[in-house]
Structures are given as C-alpha cells and as structure tokens.
Amino acid sequence: MLRHHAQAPALALACLAGLAGALAGCAEGPLTEDDVAEARTRYVVELMNFVVVEEDPATLPLADPAADDAAPDDAAAVGDVEGEDDDAAAGADDAVPEPPPAPATRDVILDLLVRRTGGDGLPGITVDVEQVDAREQPKATFRVWIDTSQLGGKGATTQVTQRLEDVEVATDDKFAAEIREDVPADMRGEYREFAEATSPQ
C-alpha cells in the first residue's frame, strides 16, 4: 500500500508534465495567410432571412395643407397679368427636363447562421454577401465581418444579424451569403482575417 501511494505523486507529476506539453502544443502563434485560407474552409454560412427596413413615415416631411389651399388663388392671380400666359408657353419649349430622382436607399438586415466544421478556428471570418436583381444579375457585393471567437469546435453554430446600410434595393432583389474560396492575393487585404495575418511562409 505504501509503495502504491508513493507512486501516485510521480504519476501525477507525469500527467501534469504531459498536460503542460499538450497545452504548449495548442498555443497559437501568429497565423500566416496560408493558415487563414485553410481555416476559412472549416466554416459554412447560410443566409436564413433578410429584411428591408422601410423609411419611418414619422420622419418624412409633412405636407402643408395651407399651401395646397392657396395654390388655386395664386394661379388665378398670375393668369390676370397680361402676356404672362404667352411668355410661359414660349418658355415651356425651352425648359430643361429634370433629371430622374436618385434610386431610394434602404438598410437591409441579414439573419446569418455560421457553422464550424472542425479543426483550428479563427477569431472572426469575413462573409461575402451578394445582391442580385430579379433576373439573378449581380448588383453589388458586401463583405461582413463576423466574430467567431466564442464559436466552439466541430458542429458548433452561431446565429447573428448584420445590417447593410444605404443599399439601393428594389422590390424583387435577392441576397445570398458565402465564405469565398480561393481569395486572390491582391484582394486579401479586403478581408480582415487575411489583413491581420503574416505573409505566407
């Protein structure tokens, strides 16, 4: 029994040494761009839903009823001036057409589901969001940064909402999200995880 108890501290020390070695092996150093590119393949993103935020009617300028009531009287008074109608008709032909109004912009709320498939993770990942029209023709691409620092190991998921501001969006527009593969070297600076990495080894 004494021999058995005497061996227990030695066994405990051996286990602690092994654990320390394992922890040292898990310590993460600076990631290279190649490390980031590989880690990005371990994430999957799905756009669950999106909502276009309409303008709040309370923020729109209110019409002045008094101005509408005064308009007919003002028009009649102008018509009483001799020669005014002839001048207006002549000027109508020379009038410069007004440019069409600028497309209305809206904010778009994205509901995204991110899943980690395993392996080493990243503190965050950039998701590409594409906007297309009713004919599936691309209109715009947005890059959204998602914090994945608290996302666990294989199979772990997180659901987040992201807001795209001032988007020119039509009624039939659609959106799709993906984690892009094979990001070209000249575009990696636009992806935060690549921008924070070291140069490839």
pLDDT range class, residue 1, cuts 50, 70, 90: very low
pLDDT at residue 50 tops 90: yes
In a domain, 134, yes or no: yes
pLDDT at residue 2 tops 70: no
Question: Which pLDDT score is estimated for 60?
Answer: 43
Tell me, yes or no, if the pTM score tops 0.85.
Answer: no
In a domain, 152, yes or no: yes
Q: Are strands 138-147 and 124-132 parallel, antiparallel or unpaired?
A: antiparallel
> What is the 3 state secondary structure string of 10-71?
HHHHHHHHHHHHHHHHHCCCCCEHHHHHHHHCCEEEEEEEEEEECCCHHHCCCCCHHHHHHH
In a domain, 86, yes or no: no
In a domain, 42, yes or no: yes
pLDDT range class, residue 30, cuts 50, 70, 90: confident
Show the domain range for 127.
31-55+103-195
In a domain, 170, yes or no: yes
User: DSSP readout, 160-171?
Assistant: EEEEEEEEE--T
Across the chain, mean pLDDT equals: 76
In a domain, 46, yes or no: yes
We report the CATH number of the domain holding residue 174 as 2.60.40
In a domain, 107, yes or no: yes
If one counts the domains in the chain, the total is 1
**Phi and psi of 181, rounded to 5°?**
-95, 155
What letter does residue 188 receive in the DSSP assignment? G
Element of type H or E holding 196: none
Question: Which pLDDT score is estimated for 96?
Answer: 73
Mean of pLDDT values over 58-80: 46
In a domain, 40, yes or no: yes
Q: Are strands 43-53 and 124-132 parallel, antiparallel or unpaired?
A: unpaired
Question: Which pLDDT score is estimated for 10?
Answer: 38
